Amino acid sequence: MLKPFLMTAAAALLVGSAARATDIGTVIDVPCPFGDCKAGISLSYLGEYDIATGFMENGAEVGGLSGIDFDPSTGHYISISDDRSEKAPARFYDLDIDVSAAGLKGVTVLDHVTLKDKNGQPFAIRTVDSESIRIGKDGIYWSSEGDGKALLPPFVRVANRDGSFVRELPLPSGFAPTADKSTGIRDNLAFENLTFLSGGDLLVGMESALYQDGPMTTLTNGALARLIRYEAATGEQKAQYVYPVSPIPQAAAKPGGWSDFGMSEILALDDRHALSIERGYAQDVGNSVVINMFDLDGATDVSNIPSLAKTDQRIVPVRKTQVMDLRALGLAPDNIEGVTFGKAKDGTDVLIFVADNNFNPTQKTQFFAFKVIRRPQ
């Protein structure tokens, strides 16, 4: 959902001077991020498709799409809603995305699956805030941000295809919310991100900083968000890393207006590189959506550091570099919160983004598609 480590991200966008990403086929090329040409990534824009707020599927309003993943067994996509069981029980959707090398033609909502709690029942109203979803070897992994105000802890759980509960990964110390806000998650800024590294480990990312790790983002300072690395099969925590969220890139139009910025999703490229989405909103200005690549290699394991703000230990965060800025490319992104690699029916490798419309009639459930020309393997 929307709501200081000083680090400059280097950008390398090789886009023709006369072309914009709104032209189908425009190429965005980052040949040597971090000076490592093996980590190069190259994408070609395939188009946008929108679903208006209020669209219904089998009695459930389609919206709040905060995570998406490709299912190679069906050729479809699953996308989780962050509806807190208020419009319909917590759920994920089955989507058919009509995309090929010729462009993005449409998105069909085929069905939805209700997520179940540990007792096998649909989640009660405001007992869950589902945000990210990934298909693992032993089930569907999904995250909840919890509720900082109600002192509900965040979690990562594994579900069967029918949404039934399988197991929950252990929550590391320091993440549970506290009444005095001395430690733990901030409300709406918790487990927003999930991805599987190529070696099988699960990476879970915070949207912003824990209370004990420093302040949220401002117009002049970033925030320190933790990444948890789990051995997926056992749920054992292997490490934690620091991801430096950038400062808010744009101010609200009027003094005192709302503006924010946070990390809304991550997507592994190999066992050390991943993409991240940093997105935010400035009141009466619009959304900012920046896609970065980050590198875990050499990052400090901070799992035994209770507070990043109160430690004398030298900490090396993950390195990151900007891949693309959707607004700078000529697009008009909404609240982008999900991303996945997929395979089109014609065999084209694609990168799909989805926006959470917040069930707001002034917003939309928005999809962007890019052809993957080159990526780290």
pLDDT in tens, 225-275: 999 999 999 999 999 999 999 999 999 999 999 999 999 999 999 999 999
pLDDT band per the 50, 70, 90 thresholds, residue 21 = low
Res 321 pLDDT > 80: yes
C-alpha to C-alpha distance for 197 and 188, rounded to whole angstroms? 25
Res 81 pLDDT > 70: yes
C-alpha to C-alpha distance for 350 and 339, rounded to whole angstroms? 11
Query: Residue written as tokens 């039934």?
Result: 164
Using an 8 Å Cβ cutoff, are 45 and 26 in contact?
yes
* Structure confidence at residue 3 (pLDDT): 36
pLDDT digits (tens, 9 = 90+) for 25-75: 999 999 999 999 999 999 999 999 999 999 999 999 999 999 999 999 999
pLDDT digits (tens, 9 = 90+) for 154-190: 999 999 999 999 999 999 999 999 999 999 999 999 9
Beta-strand ranges (E) seen in 297-335 are: 319-325
pLDDT band per the 50, 70, 90 thresholds, residue 11 = very low
pLDDT digits (tens, 9 = 90+) for 201-229: 999 999 999 999 999 999 999 999 999 99
Backbone angles phi, psi at 33, to 5 degrees: -60, 140
pLDDT band per the 50, 70, 90 thresholds, residue 377 = confident
pLDDT digits (tens, 9 = 90+) for 109-152: 999 999 999 999 999 999 999 999 999 999 999 999 999 999 99
Res 5 pLDDT > 90: no
pLDDT band per the 50, 70, 90 thresholds, residue 10 = very low
C-alpha to C-alpha distance for 48 and 24, rounded to whole angstroms? 10
Q: Residue 30: which of 324, 275, 296 has the closest Cα?
A: 324
- Mean pLDDT over the full length of the chain: 94
Percent of the chain with pLDDT over 90: 93
Q: What is the pTM for the complete model shown?
A: 0.94
Res 337 pLDDT > 60: yes
Using an 8 Å Cβ cutoff, are 235 and 341 in contact?
no
* Structure confidence at residue 16 (pLDDT): 34
Q: Which amino acid is at 118?
A: K
C-alpha to C-alpha distance for 191 and 193, rounded to whole angstroms? 6
